[in-house]
Amino acid sequence: MKKTLLLQLLCFTAYLVSAQNSEDIVIKPGEEGEKTLLKVIYLYPDFHNGFVYLKDGKKSAARLNYNIYNDKIEFISPRGDTLEATDEKNFDYIVIVKDTLYYQQGYFQKIGGNDTVKLVVKQSFAATSKEKIGGYGISTSTAAVTPYNSVSVGNQRYNLTVNEIVTLKKENIFYIGDQFNHFQKATRKNILYKFEKHQAALKEYLNSHSVNFEQKEDLQKLVNYIIQLQASQ
């Protein structure tokens, strides 16, 4: 099936303004945005061979990709259609190339740790602003496309019927998980609670290290320290 997001955005140009923990995607009138947006809304620019591992021990192979915008795993059917994977509650984890994703009311991408201490990231989009600009017209020198005049993010639709620039923010939020794939946002309170057996050592570590819970590198060091604590018990 065709993806509505792509159709909605075909007539707008996008460019990125990157920050350490987020990206601003600015959508402007034009026809050059498709390739840029595809790179942003998908984990990979193309579909790759992967596996969906089920909780009952079975697995399915397919050409997969993760649609960050829709928060869905998509696959290519034998007929060549792009479809969304369903029944996520039965998924144990998904492997695409070297990436592992878990499902807990949405998908989390593993970026560090091991099987018992997992550092994952949840990526999401939010519309942050829209700005009126002067009049414009669709270029007659290019191949005809159907004009779409709105973009939806979550449950909100932003109308672009006149001349508007819409800024979407792609955010990264980090979570800590355990061997049961139960994930909590990476905060001092949650980490001390989740790993209460090592609370004293973790308090000492956190007091002596300036840990930014919105920085991947700081959290990777913290997760590695937790793994060392578990190995030494």
Q: pLDDT tens digits for 62-114?
A: 999 999 888 999 999 999 999 999 989 999 999 999 999 999 999 999 999 99
Closest CA to 60 of 82, 98, 93: 93
In whole angstroms, give the CA distance from residue 195 to residue 198. Answer: 6
Closest CA to 72 of 49, 101, 99, 50: 101
CA 89 to chain centre: 18
Least confident of 118-122, 169-173, 196-200, 214-218: 169-173
In whole angstroms, give the CA distance from residue 17 to residue 12. Answer: 16
Note whether 127 and 19 are within 8 A (CB). Answer: no
Q: The tokens of 85 are what?
A: 């994977």
If pLDDT is split at 50, 70 and 90, which confidence band does 41 have?
Answer: confident
Query: Residue range 20-47: average pLDDT?
Result: 69
Helix axes 199-208, 216-232, angle to 10 degrees: 150
Closest CA to 216 of 120, 123, 98: 120
Which amino acid is residue 208, in one-letter code? Answer: S
For residue 154, pLDDT beyond 70: no
